[in-house]
Amino acid sequence: MLLLQDVQGNDVSRERNQSSQLKWLGICDVDDLSPNAGICALVADRQVAIFYFPDTGDIYALDNYDPFGHANVIFRGITGDINGQAVVASPLYKQHFILESGQCVEDESVQLTHYPVHIVGDTVEIAVPAHN
């Protein structure tokens, strides 16, 4: 069994082994990330917004599509904190999305897809559904 840890030191081996329905893809190097901001990556034909906070080691990946503004712009949003939760505000209509889950703060019926993400060595990896 391959033992992996994310940037917070959490064991992600269980996550990798529990779900054979997920496939981990190397997306970029850590140096390609923008500290305390987002970047966009094309992952398995989907635009994914990746947010990295080097001071805490937190890294998040959400769908880049803004369901309110109908555009791929989430990575351009401003990051912040609401009630102790890291969020990104859409640059279009300013709805906030919790980075850990993708849940919209202002509208509970809306949630962006959240992707498991971690750093292995210098490589950022994102888990996507595996197609058999």
Look at residue 2 in the predicted model and tell me its pLDDT.
29
- The domain limits of the chain are 13-129
Tell me the pLDDT tens digit for each residue of 100-132. 999 999 999 999 999 999 999 999 999 988 875
By C-alpha distance, which of 45, 54, 37 is closest to 99?
Answer: 37
User: What is the C-alpha to C-alpha distance for residues 120 and 29, in angstroms, rounded to an integer?
Assistant: 10
CATH code for 13-129? 2.102.10.10
pLDDT at residue 20, rounded to an integer:
66
The model carries a pTM of 0.82
